[in-house]
Structure 1
């Protein structure tokens, strides 16, 4: 028989869910001021109003550890001992392994409906989320909607599941009395180590997506800690300086061919390195335009835009002549090898630069050849020669101790022994060591905080669906010494994606690039302690920004732009 959640206290010992770290309160960047239509959404009344089957149970933080709840004392645990006991047979003659459900009435005048909950999961099964017709009827072709499906194979930490119903989906639920339901279906195998923790369930009759907050007084621009920002001006990509509130915008570098990307301040704040996209050969083009290939340079300029000098240039290689005509001596087309720089980061000695160099093959018709390369190189100006730092790697971030975080890629190459995830290289070890810190490809683009201990990553979540086109991006904060319990700083459902994280000198804020729903992008700030966020630019032309690492006096900007 279907019943209430079992009032027993589970102790869970699962890899990735152990420890004793108190989790943070829900971030304030997504306020939900409308009353919750769910009774006891945080389970602090021990599941009052909920129904469940299949050994759904409460977990008590006082018994199992604070990391087993998101907030308060109690959370719900699913997956453990999921056996379908008491669960009804569905019309398709299957029996779910577990159901967590509560009746909810949707107002007839709701302008939107937001469904959200916090969850933490490990090991493999699949979870469905519904506003359903009844406890035993989940067919969305009847009344209600299927909100999404996600796997329990998740990276560490608590994360937010949130979806907003509008349009046709809203019409299907408005004015209806339905069942909010989290279901582990009968046809899905539930492994012995599968755990799904649920807390702080909310259904509100409003659009509860992340909203912009007012600019904090600490970010009002005074010129002492400016941003280096790449802006799109028509087809051009130019480097600007601007204050942290988006004012005092000044163009300082146009680039070799008006295509500048990925700025990085030197540790002393005196120079800026950028990727200067151009062609190879450079600086003297080949007389035959077909032999001029896409390439990149690393350019270093002073903080005021003066004294630009190229310190490294990629050397792409020409393949078969185009259009390709097979002949006796050349029966198969050889693709051109395009080598580009896709990120730069200074090392703490204030001299060397770590850069990601990617390579890919291109045929005459524009199609890409199978495979590719992505390696991190070390460049020491003024020498134009680069040395390898890490293979099958990208997007390095270097802390004050010289430890390098980077993305690892399994490129399906017979020479690659690199697995997906976030890696750390410690050059202080003898020989230098590499450690895989996060063994999940959902977390990418690590960025060390100024304290050299915390780091932020961009996470591609599975909310509201495992479908890539529907996933929401997030920003997670890790402590290097406690990797199993990161904190979600931002759930970025106010845009398509986030990228290009950069820390403030004091470690209190991040800036990030938000790709808007219209395909354009802006720079936003993020308060690390509260989760509040808001725009620095609003015209959709900012591509990425880097925060000056040290606070210094204002730097005079010349009238002549390089």
Structure 2
């Protein structure tokens, strides 16, 4: 369901207003309450070994692998990797009707077929991968028959997009016991096979494979490490701001990067908020709090419209100021299918961002039609509005976008429609350029301190389905803006990654939020090593941002 024309016209009208008499009197008394540290190193578990059911998955030698044709083990930027091209033909892959140019296979060490099997590997490509010309499958009859048929279960055909677009990408395939028993002649022996067919259109294509892992259950590559000294003793006065979930209610809190000097602001209502709390300057933070119109409807048929109060809080003198408001329009719901039902209009500030000089901000305003009837909500449409912090006025016409972040020199980076944008901002003009595009992007990103790189996250390819539920795993990566080169930092398979990434002022760490078995937690990621671990393992928290 699309947004109605009513929404579009109302949105322009609503966000053009200023708070004026809706700004409350200074309540004073905004004080922080000291709390216990959020991190305890003794709670970091010992690393658990990963049971890989194949040998030599890192290809440091060619032992254990059967290779044929244009498949060979050789040197790459990962050390030794499997290299696949179509310069030769695999004469041993007989019994099929098409040419096979390269095959690499190894038997999986199974005593019984497990309930679930994961096949995981890193892949990178030079050149385009024609559709279905590079295949990964399981078979129990590898000798002489590597092609499709009753003896093979097709896992997937990684595309150019999945092939690493300039960098390594991890692909996971999940296979159930039922699939293996249904599609293969016998459950054992079982082989994993990488196969390249005739790259006739692009003979220059080369595919690199590394770190092949076959294991029972859903793979868990990432394990927590103790917090490094560089974060334990982080230089400078930077603090983190986040939502603290340890009390009975959600509250705004700040802490040092190592989890000490934790301060909770009990007077700030963060019960219903949009996005993350954002630093405005060293002493002030901004919160977008959800409101409804009407706040308490007297008629049960009225569906309140959602809006926002964007409020700036001063942690030193206790003052607060509503710097911007949006108000939605109420709808009507009599009964399901009634002709005079009308969807409510939500107009909400989902994100805010403030430039280094604190003279400009970005209000990320999203609108949608919302109905109590199931399935009748519209998709969100989101705009970026340039905001003058001195006059509290909007400066530009709307630009489609979400999750904006300022660079230190005044550029904008943001997400929209599975694309990452970088934009020049001059006066009231925002001039964007697409720097990365791929399906499955997480709606979060941030700048490196030197502005050369973005951190972002995208879905690990072919994550799979278990018990009719999607298994979605994200990879945290960096993007070199000038070259388009991506680098895989971390497969975030130790929980459900939340749309929250923030790069440290010194460039050495990225912090992120995720839902884990212990609840919502904030984790650090060391850029140079790819190691990671929790900042909050004695409490729960999320939506974290560095003070820069």
* TM-score, structure 1 normalization: 0.72
Q: SS of 1:510's equivalent?
A: strand
Mark the CA change 1:498 to 1:256 in structure 2 (over 3 Å): closer, same or farther: closer
Partner of 1:87: 93
Alpha carbons 2:364, 2:383 under 8 Å: kept: yes
Are residue 246 (structure 1) and residue 259 (structure 2) matched?
yes
Q: SS of 1:212's equivalent?
A: coil
Are residue 475 (structure 1) and residue 476 (structure 2) matched?
yes
> How far 1:237 moved relative to its partner?
3.0
Partner of 2:502: 502
> How far 1:529 moved relative to its partner?
0.6
Mark the CA change 1:475 to 1:434 in structure 2 (over 3 Å): closer, same or farther: same
> How far 1:509 moved relative to its partner?
0.7
Q: SS of 1:218's equivalent?
A: helix
In the aligned structure 1, how far is the partner of 2:252 from the partner of 2:428?
39
Are residue 313 (structure 1) and residue 325 (structure 2) matched?
yes
Partner of 1:346: 354
Mark the CA change 1:500 to 1:389 in structure 2 (over 3 Å): closer, same or farther: farther
In the aligned structure 2, how far is the partner of 1:179 from the partner of 1:512?
38
| 1:433 maps to which of 431, 434, 456 | 431
Alpha carbons 1:255, 1:276 under 8 Å: kept: no
> How far 1:349 moved relative to its partner?
2.2
Are residue 51 (structure 1) and residue 55 (structure 2) matched?
no
> How far 1:162 moved relative to its partner?
4.8
Partner of 2:282: 269
In the aligned structure 2, how far is the partner of 1:306 from the partner of 1:221?
29
Alpha carbons 1:295, 1:314 under 8 Å: kept: yes
Q: SS of 2:230's equivalent?
A: helix
Are residue 102 (structure 1) and residue 106 (structure 2) matched?
yes
Mark the CA change 1:169 to 1:234 in structure 2 (over 3 Å): closer, same or farther: farther
Partner of 1:180: 192
In the aligned structure 2, how far is the partner of 1:548 from the partner of 1:116?
37
| 1:293 maps to which of 293, 305, 320 | 305
Partner of 2:221: 209
Q: SS of 1:506's equivalent?
A: coil
In the aligned structure 1, how far is the partner of 2:450 from the partner of 2:124?
27
Q: 1:118-154 CA deviation, whole Å, 9 max, x = no partner?
A: 1024545356544531313789998x98766654433
Are residue 134 (structure 1) and residue 141 (structure 2) matched?
yes
Instruction: Please show how residues 26-37 of structure 1 align to structure 2 within 5 Å.
Output: none
> How far 1:437 moved relative to its partner?
0.4
Partner of 1:404: 412
In the aligned structure 2, how far is the partner of 1:324 from the partner of 1:171?
46
Q: 1:389-419 CA deviation, whole Å, 9 max, x = no partner?
A: 652211111101111111122xxxxxxxxxx
Q: 1:502-522 CA deviation, whole Å, 9 max, x = no partner?
A: 12221111110112258x421
In the aligned structure 1, how far is the partner of 2:375 from the partner of 2:270?
24
Alpha carbons 1:396, 1:407 under 8 Å: kept: yes
> How far 1:458 moved relative to its partner?
1.0
Alpha carbons 2:304, 2:329 under 8 Å: kept: no
Partner of 1:423: 421
In the aligned structure 1, how far is the partner of 2:307 from the partner of 2:177?
46
Mark the CA change 1:205 to 1:375 in structure 2 (over 3 Å): closer, same or farther: closer
In the aligned structure 1, how far is the partner of 2:88 from the partner of 2:353?
48
Partner of 2:209: 198
Partner of 1:118: 122
Runs of 5+ consecutive residues of structure 2 not aligned to the other structure: 1-45
* TM-score, structure 2 normalization: 0.74
Alpha carbons 1:315, 1:339 under 8 Å: kept: yes
Partner of 1:535: 534
In the aligned structure 2, how far is the partner of 1:189 from the partner of 1:362?
51
Alpha carbons 2:370, 2:378 under 8 Å: kept: no
| 1:160 maps to which of 160, 166, 170 | 170
Alpha carbons 2:243, 2:542 under 8 Å: kept: yes
Partner of 2:399: 391
In the aligned structure 1, how far is the partner of 2:267 from the partner of 2:532?
30
Q: SS of 2:331's equivalent?
A: coil
The structure where strand makes up a greater share of residues is 2
> How far 1:438 moved relative to its partner?
0.5
> How far 1:359 moved relative to its partner?
0.9
| 1:237 maps to which of 243, 247, 250 | 250
| 1:71 maps to which of 78, 92, 97 | 78
Alpha carbons 1:96, 1:185 under 8 Å: kept: yes
Q: SS of 1:507's equivalent?
A: coil
Mark the CA change 1:316 to 1:267 in structure 2 (over 3 Å): closer, same or farther: closer
In the aligned structure 2, how far is the partner of 1:441 from the partner of 1:449?
23
Mark the CA change 1:362 to 1:57 in structure 2 (over 3 Å): closer, same or farther: same
Are residue 377 (structure 1) and residue 377 (structure 2) matched?
no
> How far 1:194 moved relative to its partner?
6.4
Alpha carbons 2:303, 2:332 under 8 Å: kept: no
Q: SS of 1:482's equivalent?
A: coil
